[in-house]
A and B are shown apart, each in its own frame.
Chain A
Amino acid sequence: MRVEDLDVNEMIGDVGKIICEHDRKKGVLIHAFQKIQQDYGYLPGEVLMTLSKKLSLPLAEIYSVASFYKQFHFSPRGKKVVRVCMGTACHVRGAKNVLNALEDEFGIKQGETTDDLAMTLETVGCVGCCGLAPVATINEDVVGDIGKKKLELLVKAIKEEEK
């Protein structure tokens, strides 16, 4: 989607009829971010700048909304997004070790992306399968019960995809 083609009224639907213009513009922001992220994989600065001009909302306000949500990113993301669960159950079962091992293996810190844009390492609160703790997800696939062996498999799985 090109930001220039964004139609505020269409996006907001019938609600738009009862709220003022400024709120209408603010209302479509998250929707617009999601669409932009779908296309680019992240929210590039220049695109947000165009969006700010298009909606005549200050860039700081747009950035402020986007930065509130963890789902929006401001730098390019890797092909594989590995999320290590740091929820209570996983924490108790040593999620920290899993994270440290992955950080050491790929030489990046949590929240960072490898230089070749192959992998992004993140932490999450809970993925909802505490029975399998400690858990990590690679894109949409869940890897549970990570022990030493599973960890090796996990690393392998991430690396394999890279090739």
Chain B
Amino acid sequence: MVELTIDGKKVSVEDGITILKAAQMNGIKIPNMCYDKRLRPYGACRLCVVEAEKQPRLLASCSTPVAPGMVILTDTPKLRKVRQTVLELMLIHHPLDCPICDKAGECDLQDVAYEYGKPEGRFIRHRKAMPPDVRGPLVELTANRCILCGKCVRICSEHQGRGALGLIGRGFPTVVQPAFGEILECDYCGQCIDICPTGALLSKPFKFQARAWFLEEKDTICPFCGCGCTLTLGTREGNVLRSRGKEDNGRSEGNLCGRGRFGFDYIYSDNRLKTPLIRKNGAFVQATWDEALMHISDSLKYIINSYGKDSVGAIGSHRCTNEDNFMLRKFMVSVIGSHNMDSSAAFGYSKVQKALDMAFGLKTHSINMKSPLGKDVIFILESDISITHPVFGLNILQAKREGSQLIVADSRDTKLTRHSSNYLKMRQGTSVALLNGMMKIILDKGLFNREIVSKTQGFTEFETSLAEYTPGKVSKMTGISEEELVSTAETIAKAKNRMISLTVSATENTKGMDTVLAASNLVILLGEDIDALQIPAEYANTYGTYKMGIRPDAGKTDVKDIFDMLYETNSLNALYIMGEDPVSTFPYNSKIMRTLKSLELLVVQDIALTETAKLAHVVLPASSWAEKDGTFVNAEGIEQKIHRIVDAPGQSLPDWQILRNLSLSMGKEIAIRNIEGVSEEIKKTIREDQKTSDKRVFNTVSYSAGEEPDMEYPLSLVTRDVLQHSGSMSTRSKALDLVVSEAFLEINEDDARKFGISDNSHVKITSRRGTIYLKAKVTDTVQPGTVFTSMHFPHGRVNALTYPSENGAAGTDAVKIESVKG
């Protein structure tokens, strides 16, 4: 600790921090333009100068570390004069177009100029006359307003790890631009927009929509991935106009990705439902709530009477709040009397959960977003965490910057592989083989924790099962050289502490339950706790949906899970789908469609007319996330409130309310009047999570390939997420569609040549299950023999090709591709 005096206030702070930080920690404000706590000190703006006793020169407080006994003055006439001059120099270049600049009102430069500036300028104005760069889809660059603090350049390369912007040129004509002055092509996270102290970087969808002081800002939780970031939504007269992150606000501490920042406008999509729809003679007819609910309750009663309670099933949703999912469960259990419930978690979080229950005896699994920090080695297994969970990915990158070793095993070049210290280029879907091979090496070299392992169940079987995974054989399976395997295994085993992370979800077909089991074996073998394994739940409320009991109950027999409900015809007669779109997001959708068409009653309750809703008998309009109160549980297991910010369109109602009304029209009184009633009941019924356990079990896992490519289907199809989209909800966002609006097939240059495919041409892709047509994108980020695509886009119909792997093994799909002429 260091003792010093700032403005007459004696403070004691940690050694090594800067004067600016010390002042901020003690509530003393020093003006600054180029400082951000996420970035390294830069010292460009010189506004943060302070006076120190016995020092003839002024010190830039943002980059000067504290020293014992320092006496600092932060606001003296001399400093004011210096700051005034600095500001005067900054304003030489800055145009005074505040009246038409969207930043006005929340602009740092404006604030500082208001406090320190004087109206007179002594210098000849030297204004850049560059027209604003409006070419990019989401970010607008206005070089004229730039004061060259370099914050955007630094947050892009240092914090986001992207580096799309650079300070180009030298002297007066310096501008912030992408290389060669081309169109800004980046992750579109928009962090540069938030961090810019002037109006040089602005959000295009928000351009000229409203002045800052007309906006009403409310915090809510992002509806996309499992990070659970806090969005600050700006609304004007009941319309959400923008979303931004505020410094130190929420789990994300102000960081946001492109989905959270630009994707909120899916609530204004054109196909939002406004009234209930009932299918009559094959076509949808608008109906009143009474008609629709009576129709459903009559049909349900008839189905229960003729086929029994178990012929009714329900699918909950990660897009809905805890309250909604809880009500669905209550409706199913106490009104229908059936336990056939499941959600999309069955393809992801549920698998993880099952595996971790087997290995660690834990009933729920939560991550800690800060866990990568301070870890010696971070091992990422075939996952694009920067894409699926961007803000968690930021912490991984930060850990790498702070000296952790980042080892990434992947079949595709991603942001994490670019930043990795070691990049193991592996064949797709071979993580289990890789893990088993590494464990074999660790066992052979005796690098494991004998004390803990000796106490663990199933070690002998586990050891014998690994016998066949010799480095030579694993090297052949995974495509990673033997030396690399051995050195990686050694690094991971010898590290002081480590973190292993991967993602499992319905949109990825290269990992499954056995990957999680193998990873937990490795964790147990090295004597680590469950904290070393970080597998985030996929979406905003996947965790909550699972926690609220939307899952096949373990205790009960012949409960139908999602595989029975959607892939077995005749297993159900009625299905109630709340906020889920199985036809576009779940694998093997031709089979799902067949099942859904065979149902006697399909009720879909959603915010928009989805592909699944088009097959329904009754469609009920639900409120979106911004139009209702409730709670989401993020991947960390933290419950966060979401708020009703705007009014729901048409007659749409919150999901829990629809279900309560439906219970009433079924003749069953559920004593719930309002949202607080639901929350109270949740508190009473749902048990708290169990976070730790002493149980450790080795589970033998053997590598089984998905569909191996053969003569007829020579390529492996890998499905993953793309950065701008999360599930199929974001595809309705107009802003995100400006970046990626259609599914594409990434193919290696060599394969493209082999199959006669050129960039941007259409290709026909056929698997054993179906055929689709996509645009091809020739690239070198995928390996030969694999093609990559994402399944977000309903029109892409990628799920016609894929199949669900029920047993939990990874399931890549073999496909053949042909170029489409004409």
Contact = CB atoms under 8 A, between A and B. Distances in A.
B205 interface: no
Given A63-B180, A74-B180, A58 B170 contact: no
A63 B157 contact: no
Contact of B178 (A45, A48, A60, A68): A60
Contacts of B169: 67-68
Interface string A59-96: 11111100111000010000000000000000000000
19 contacts: A48-B179, A59-B163, A59-B179, A60-B153, A60-B163, A60-B164, A60-B165, A60-B177, A60-B178, A61-B163, A62-B179, A63-B166, A63-B180, A64-B153, A64-B166, A67-B166, A67-B168, A67-B170, A74-B180
Given A60-B178, A62-B179, A63-B179, 12 more contacts: A45-B180, A48-B179, A58-B157, A58-B162, A60-B163, A60-B164, A60-B177, A60-B179, A61-B166, A67-B166, A67-B169, A67-B170
B163 A58 contact: yes
A59 to B, nearest CB: 4
Nearest to A57: B163
Nearest to A62: B179
A29 B166 CA distance: 15
A69 B156 CA distance: 23
A64 B167 contact: yes
In this complex, the member of B156, B157, B166 whose beta carbon has the largest number of chain A beta carbons within 10 angstroms is: B166
B295 interface: no
Interface string B158-176: 0000111111111000000
A72 to B, nearest CB: 11
B118 interface: no
A38 interface: no
Nearest to B419: A56
B127 interface: no
Contacts of A57: 163
- For chain A, the bracket of interface size reads 10 to 19
B418 interface: yes
Interface in B404-424: 418-419
A63 B168 contact: yes
Nearest to A49: B179
Given A45-B180, A56-B418, A74-B180, A61 B157 contact: yes
Determine chain B's interface SS by DSSP, over half rule: mixed
Contacts of A56: 418-419
Contacts of A62: 179
Contact of A68 (B153, B164, B170): B170
A56 B422 CA distance: 13
A63 B163 CA distance: 11
A64 B177 CA distance: 9
Given A67-B169, A68-B169, A68-B170, A58 B180 contact: no
Given A45-B180, A59-B179, A74-B180, A64 B168 contact: yes
B168 A58 contact: no
Contacts of B179: 48, 59-60, 62-64
B167 A58 contact: no
A68 B171 CA distance: 9
A74 B181 CA distance: 12
Contacts of B177: 60
A20 B21 CA distance: 26
Contacts of B170: 67-69
B419 to A, nearest CB: 8
Contacts of A61: 157, 163, 166
Nearest to A64: B166
Contacts of B167: 64
A154 B812 CA distance: 70
A67 B180 CA distance: 9
Interface string A17-41: 0000000000000000000000000
Contacts of B162: 58
Nearest to A45: B180
Nearest to B178: A60
Nearest to A69: B170
Nearest to B420: A56
Nearest to A70: B170
Contacts of B180: 45, 63, 74
Interface string B16-36: 000000000000000000000
In this complex, the member of B156, B168, B179 whose beta carbon has the largest number of chain A beta carbons within 10 angstroms is: B179
- Nearest 4 interchain pairs by C-beta: A58-B163, A64-B166, A60-B166, A63-B179
Contacts of A69: 170
A48 B168 CA distance: 15
In this complex, the member of A61, A69, A74 whose beta carbon has the largest number of chain B beta carbons within 10 angstroms is: A61
Contacts of A63: 166, 168, 179-180
Nearest to A65: B166
In this complex, the member of B163, B164, B165, B178 whose beta carbon has the largest number of chain A beta carbons within 10 angstroms is: B163
A69 B169 CA distance: 8
A63 B170 CA distance: 12
Contacts of B157: 58, 60-61
A46 to B, nearest CB: 11
A148 B178 CA distance: 45
Contacts of B156: 60
B191 to A, nearest CB: 15
A27 to B, nearest CB: 16
Contacts of A58: 157, 162-164, 166
Interface in B116-173: 153, 156-157, 162-170
Contacts of A74: 180
A74 B180 CA distance: 9
A62 B162 CA distance: 13
B188 to A, nearest CB: 15
Contacts of B164: 58, 60
B732 to A, nearest CB: 32
A23 to B, nearest CB: 12
A45 B178 CA distance: 13
Nearest to B173: A67
A50 to B, nearest CB: 11
Contacts of A48: 179
A30 B166 CA distance: 16
A74 B179 CA distance: 11
A43 B503 CA distance: 41
A58 B155 CA distance: 13
Interface in B439-469: none
A32 to B, nearest CB: 15
Contacts of B163: 57-61
Interface string A120-138: 0000000000000000000
Contacts of B419: 56
Contacts of B168: 63-64, 67
A68 B418 CA distance: 26
Contacts of A45: 180
A33 B164 CA distance: 20
A66 B292 CA distance: 67
A93 to B, nearest CB: 26
Contacts of B418: 56
Interface in B371-419: 418-419
Nearest to A22: B401
Contacts of A67: 166, 168-170
A61 B177 CA distance: 10
Contacts of A59: 163, 179
Interface in B535-566: none
B297 to A, nearest CB: 59
A149 to B, nearest CB: 37
A48 B178 CA distance: 14
In this complex, the member of A56, A59, A62, A64 whose beta carbon has the largest number of chain B beta carbons within 10 angstroms is: A64
B159 to A, nearest CB: 13
A91 B103 CA distance: 43
A76 B83 CA distance: 44
Nearest to A48: B179
Interface string B721-757: 0000000000000000000000000000000000000
Nearest to B181: A63
